[in-house]
Structure 1
Amino acid sequence: MAIENINNLTNDFVLVWLDSTIETNKNHQNTKVLLQRLIRVRLLTFDDPDQCIDNITDEPLKRIFLIISNTFGKHVIPLIHEFPYIQSIYIYYGDQEKIEAWTMPYSKISGIFIKTQALIHKICDDVKVHDKNGDLSMSMFHLAEKENKLEQLSKESVTFMWYQLILKVLRLMAKYDSSKDEMIAECRTIYDSNAAEQMKINDFEENYSPIKALEWYINGSFVYRLLNKALRAQNIEIIFKFRFFINDLHNQIEQLYHQYLDNHSSIIDHHLTVYRSQHLDMEELDLLKSNVNELISMNSFLSATLNQEIAKLVADTNDQLNESSSLQWVIFIINISNISKEMTPFAFLKNSSCLQDEDQEEEEVLFTMGTIFKIQSVEQHENMWHIHLQLSKEQNELSQSLVDHTMKQSGSELDPLLFGWFLYRMSEFDKAERYAQLMLTQLPSNDKGSGNAYNLLGLIYQNVHRLEKSVECYEKALDIYSLL
């Protein structure tokens, strides 16, 4: 996966739904749940047109996708159609022929929808077109390479190890007190001209606590958006500023997982199956098909559902994209076997008291960042793709074995410089230098880690023939070591 710059962080999506029955129609309420789970954007609902228009005009830095009833559409759309931040408009329910008669002049209308599935699919398609950072972030490791030297790893396996090592280091670095302040400062900078988001950042600064990490993540806040964009772009600087939150979220997931184990300790040979509907392009699907029986790492926190019918409702459609299309709907079927404390943790969100919708019937689970699965099969069933993944303690053990092998190859121990040594051994000298310099801003000046960072810089500069700089860094490393 190519490393990309993280762009347009403030240009977030908002899904707006205007309908007089939005709060009373059970089908609308269920559709809201599906949209929030699939897209994870802010969803604003209104039953009053004036209030809706006022709120839309307050969101000039957002990209707005509008669902609107026919009753309101013919009066509201002429007023807001030319706003540049309106991306797409979806008319939900009504007589199609009558609606077509008045919608012809409006190019932003993406369709007239009677069926919920068609509406959901179209919104997902449109958001994906506008949001290239919305893709599922995943990487593969080829098991045949598990004993290879780092220099002999394929590009896919290198990316896999990149995420595994950065996660190890993030958790080590979370103990430094400045990390929360750094994250808040970064968020303020990104949302500098957005008063609404600044208020939410103030709320986070004043009221956040580690037991609220899940709540801040799953409810589509700025934390969710910025963290996932940084993870997809492999932006080390921003990822590190979120390290305390990543650590808190992992710890809360782990705590909920252990509570679940304690409550189900009487179950022998405990198994579960969870499901995730996902839009993949053909390149991603081909990558999965060519890596059956290999390992796959999900490089962010991954959600899924215990309710197979909800997954099928989203992915099962008569107009499923065909083989020639660049986009395909798939269902990840995740088999979790022999559930135990040795496995990578996951949390049942319904039991976490952090869902905004208390009436939500779906049982959703959240896997921690960097969870590793084995790809068992990728098969087409009628009008959709089924991707079977397996999670067990064996994947966890294998992951640790790969990290141990990488540490041996890098000549490093499990410390904050591990990731830098990995980059150095891969001859990524510019990236290794930036990482070591980053560590010098994070670690205490008299810490062994600072000495290790200068030692690494000395080796880097030696390799790029900057010998005076190399000697200077070696001397600084020796000065720190002499004080330990």
Structure 2
Amino acid sequence: SCNKNLEKTDIIEENDELYCHACHGKKSTNFSKSDEESSTEVDDMTCQLLEHLPKELTNSCNMTKDKTALLLFEQVKGIFTNLDELIERIKADQKTRAKAEEPVGISIFNRSDKEYTHKNLKSENGSFMWFQLLIEVLICMQHSSTAKKELIDVCKRQYQNNSKELSIIDEFEDDYDSSNAVWWYTRESCLYRLLNKALRVQNIDILFSFRFFIKDMFKSLTEEHKKMKRSLTDHFIRVYRGQIISTDEFDRIQKSIGEFISINSFFSTSRNRKQALGFIRSVVSSDAIKKILFEIKVDIRLSTKPFADVTNLSYFKQEEEIIFMLGSIFRISHIDYSEQDEVWIADLTLCNENDHDLRDLFAYHKEKLGQDLTNVVSLGDILFKMGEFDKAKQYYKRILTESSMIDLTTASCYFGL
């Protein structure tokens, strides 16, 4: 027998059975092993067994004949003859399930909000605009040669008692390059979790530490986006994301039909609807949570934040994975309940950044920042106007640590403080 630990997933092989327990998925996944020589056909007993397995249990066997018959069962997710391939599939599936269950930070811009003006950044609309400006500044600003070490130090402090994560951080320190940012983001590690948490709670200090990484992700997605546009013959694509959200979050979205929604993270989707749906269908809905499938229509000709098929760059070589740049903006078309799929379906459309409803607002706030977005002091001023005094103070202090000489930037920070 063998026992392998796979980043929160345990694989145990004993005799004829292979068991997988995924801690963060809160599900046990059973994989059946069969002798290839004695099990080349799907018999009636196997079929009856599969029919009675719950949907959240995934079965895989190494039968080489009659595979088509096996794959007709919804419970059968794959057929593997190689243990390493099976393990990689389990890890990839658990990563996808974890994404579906992980909270997604969103901001909604409500055009009917009468309290919002160009100068009012205290409302939810203001938070929407603030996040867009934050991302733009992080992408445009220049970062020092010590930026990578700064992030590594942050990660080591956060995970100082976790030898496994510290080993991954050491690997990141030795091997990271701007060209493999997507590979590192899609890997199950502290980098992915720390960045997403910082984005959800808008931790300015940690986001600032990730600035070079966010910029590298932007560059990679931009390059892959260009390649994807050249390779596609159709101007429109449709992608999907299964998600578990709180009832409060669901109510916010449902009340915002026709409005803009910003996803405040890198948004991973799939061109495979069945795959995106599969990881949420087994979750039992309750008064506290809802199952929702985002169906997103994308016109690749529009001027938007970059998105791309990252199959060739990803840690997990999943097919048809499309990642949208953080802060991507969509319009909520409608939300309906699907009796057939037993989930809510939210129809979204990726928005043009030059949409007339947003263009004037972006223009106004970019003017407030000045033409040189590498000068980030004005962002602290916006935080102050939003009433986020602690964040503004934190931001000014953070900028001061980057300033190597007394200049207008330094003076402006002291003035802000």
The TM-score with structure 1 as length reference comes to 0.65
Correspondence for 1:170 = 138
Match of 1:286 among 251, 254, 264: 251
State the Cα distance separating 1:165 from its structure 2 match. 1.7
Letter in 2 for 1:347: A
Letter in 2 for 1:429: F
State the Cα distance separating 1:449 from its structure 2 match. 2.1
Secondary structure, counterpart of 1:193 in structure 2: coil
State the Cα distance separating 1:403 from its structure 2 match. 2.8
Correspondence for 2:229 = 261
Check 1:451–1:209 CA distance in 2 against 1; reply closer, same or farther (3 A cut).
Answer: same
State the Cα distance separating 1:313 from its structure 2 match. 3.0
State the Cα distance separating 1:380 from its structure 2 match. 1.6
The TM-score with structure 2 as length reference comes to 0.74
Correspondence for 1:102 = none
Distance across 2 between alignment mates of 1:199 and 1:320: 36
> Mean Cα displacement is larger for which, 151-160 or 164-173?
151-160
State the Cα distance separating 1:372 from its structure 2 match. 0.6
Mapped contact 2:266–2:327 kept (Cα < 8 A): yes
Mapped contact 2:121–2:386 kept (Cα < 8 A): no
Distance across 1 between alignment mates of 2:108 and 2:336: 18
Mapped contact 1:440–1:450 kept (Cα < 8 A): yes
Correspondence for 1:449 = 409
2:345 aligned with 1:381? no
State the Cα distance separating 1:397 from its structure 2 match. 7.0
Letter in 1 for 2:290: Q
Correspondence for 1:438 = 398
Correspondence for 1:346 = 307
Mapped contact 2:271–2:321 kept (Cα < 8 A): yes
- Cα offsets for 1:421-480 (capped at 9, x unmatched): 1112223333322211111111232343223222323xxxxxxxxxxxxxxxxxxxxxxx
Distance across 2 between alignment mates of 1:249 and 1:397: 28
Distance across 1 between alignment mates of 2:133 and 2:276: 32
Secondary structure, counterpart of 2:301 in structure 1: coil
Letter in 2 for 1:381: S
Correspondence for 2:361 = 402
Structure 2, unpaired ranges of 5+: 16-20, 34-47, 51-55, 60-72, 78-89
Distance across 1 between alignment mates of 2:115 and 2:345: 31
Secondary structure, counterpart of 2:333 in structure 1: strand
Correspondence for 1:224 = 192
RMSD: 4.0
Mapped contact 2:108–2:259 kept (Cα < 8 A): yes
2:150 aligned with 1:189? no
Distance across 1 between alignment mates of 2:270 and 2:408: 45
Mapped contact 1:146–1:402 kept (Cα < 8 A): no
- Percent identity (aligned): 29
User: Where do 1:202-221 residues align within 5 Å?
Assistant: 202-221=170-189
Mapped contact 2:24–2:98 kept (Cα < 8 A): no
> Mean Cα displacement is larger for which, 152-161 or 383-392?
152-161
State the Cα distance separating 1:176 from its structure 2 match. 2.1
Secondary structure, counterpart of 1:48 in structure 2: strand
Mapped contact 2:263–2:326 kept (Cα < 8 A): yes
- Cα offsets for 1:148-184 (capped at 9, x unmatched): 4356456321221231121122123343222111101
Mapped contact 1:410–1:421 kept (Cα < 8 A): no
Letter in 2 for 1:365: I
Check 1:445–1:192 CA distance in 2 against 1; reply closer, same or farther (3 A cut).
Answer: same
Distance across 1 between alignment mates of 2:270 and 2:58: 26
Query: How many pairs were matched up?
Result: 361
Letter in 2 for 1:193: N
Mapped contact 2:295–2:346 kept (Cα < 8 A): yes
Check 1:66–1:332 CA distance in 2 against 1; reply closer, same or farther (3 A cut).
Answer: closer
Letter in 2 for 1:346: F
Check 1:260–1:429 CA distance in 2 against 1; reply closer, same or farther (3 A cut).
Answer: same
Correspondence for 1:314 = 279
2:205 aligned with 1:237? yes
Structure 1, unpaired ranges of 5+: 1-16, 20-40, 51-55, 57-61, 73-93, 97-110, 458-484
